[in-house]
Amino acid sequence: MYPAKFAYEAPRSIQELLDLLARHGDDAKVLAGGQSLVPMLKLRFAAPELVVDINGVPGLDHLTEDPDGTLRVGALCRHVTLERSALLAAEYPVMAAAAPLVADPMVRSRGTMVGSICHADPQGDWASVLMALGGHIVAMGPRGKRPIAMTDFVVGPFQNALQPGEFAYEAVVPPPVGQRTGTYLKLERRVGDFATVGVAVSLEHSGGRVVRAGIALTGVGPATINAADAADVLVGKPLSEETVEQAARLAAEAAQPQADHRGSVEYKRHVVATFVRRGLARGEVVAA
């Protein structure tokens, strides 16, 4: 399959990139890992006039933690880098759990977390992870940088909140307010598949209580779902059987699954509740 014709530019600096985007606006498509865009070009679901390949732009592949504990994941930080990161393994249990579950090894060699979030596929795993962690995307455009909360970033299936002329510079996870626990659980029909259901559960504990909680759902709605009510019942108290059960029920209610070849509505809701329980069971602080 051949994509339709397009013009191609490979800017060598952020300024060149911004100039190209300013000049071409909506006619331009950013190419990051290409693991969603190239298949779409081949199927001709996307036929942009201009493809702007950002892979040669220096300064976008970072994975760094600020002194205050803010994590920054650059637009060219690939899934595989996150999968192999010692920092994530030590301090970011939800991200470390999700990274190896995204796609397959070859897709992970190229694909990026930021690109996945920009793609805004309701079945994308990273959007749920960043949402549960209370993170945001830093957009960069002609007027500089601006943060967009993950809860506002996905505006619909395959639609994000970037304006023409902007690109996503990095994904940001705020510093923790307590000890971080949690995980990402994903049901897939076979290894490497998109999620039938994915659930990100992130908790922060301090003084024996949950001080921050986030729960987000993959693959069970027209977009990534923020199960805020489910997360809220956990905050301000220690985890108990009662709050866990409430959270599982509220998350299942927040899900808006469609029946398809991956399962029925009831089944998917059931898996959401089960994953929330399991995720929270792993959310206990060891020797608190």
Partner 1 sequence: MSFSKTVEITETSADTRRITVTVNGTPRVVEVEPRLLLVHLLREGLALRGTHIGCDTTNCGACTVLHDGNPIKSCTMLAVQADGHEITTVEGLGTPSELDPVQEGFHREHGLQCGFCTPGMMMAARALLDREPDPSEEDVRWALSGNLCRCTGYQNIVKAVLWAADKQRGAQPAEEDAR
Ligand X SMILES: Cc1cc2nc3c(=O)[nH]c(=O)nc-3n(C[C@H](O)[C@H](O)[C@H](O)COP(=O)(O)OP(=O)(O)OC[C@H]3O[C@@H](n4cnc5c(N)ncnc54)[C@H](O)[C@@H]3O)c2cc1C
Instruction: Output 143 or 190, the one with its CB closest to partner 1.
Output: 190
Instruction: Output 54 or 276, the one with its CB closest to partner 1.
Output: 54
CB of 38 to partner 1, least distance (A): 5
| Pair 122, 115: CB distance under 8 Å | no
Among 35, 81, 181, 196, binds ligand X (CB under 6 A): 35
- State the DSSP string of 232-255: HTTTTS---HHHHHHHHHHHHHH-
Kindly report the CA angle at 31 between 28 and 33, in degrees rounded to 5?
A: 165
Within 186-245, which residues bind ligand X (CB under 6 A)?
192, 194
CB of 238 to ligand X, least distance (A): 33
| Pair 61, 69: CB distance under 8 Å | no
Kindly report the CA angle at 117 between 251 and 220, in degrees rounded to 5?
A: 30
**How many Cβ atoms sit within 10 Å of the Cβ of residue 228?**
16
**How many Cβ atoms sit within 10 Å of the Cβ of residue 141?**
17
Instruction: Output 84 or 237, the one with its CB closest to partner 1.
Output: 84
By a kind-dependent CB cut-off of 5 to 8 A, residue 114 interacts, out of partner 1, ligand X, none, with: ligand X
CB of 244 to partner 1, least distance (A): 31
The verdict on 125 binding ligand X (CB under 6 A) reads: yes
| Pair 140, 118: CB distance under 8 Å | no
Mask 76-105, x = binds ligand X (CB under 6 A)? Answer: --------------------------xx--
Residues of this chain that bind partner 1 (CB under 8 A): 1-8, 10, 31, 34-35, 38-39, 41-43, 51, 53, 55, 80, 100, 103-107, 109-110, 191-192
Phi and psi for 107 in degrees, rounded to 5? Answer: -65, -35
Instruction: Output 10 or 138, the one with its CB closest to partner 1.
Output: 10
Q: Please give the Cα distance from 79 to 144 (Å, whole number).
A: 26
The two tokens of residue 210 are 């949950």
By a kind-dependent CB cut-off of 5 to 8 A, residue 99 interacts, out of partner 1, ligand X, none, with: none
- Which residues contact ligand X by CB under 6 A? 29-37, 39, 75, 102-103, 107, 111-112, 114-116, 118-119, 121, 124-126, 162, 167-168, 192, 194
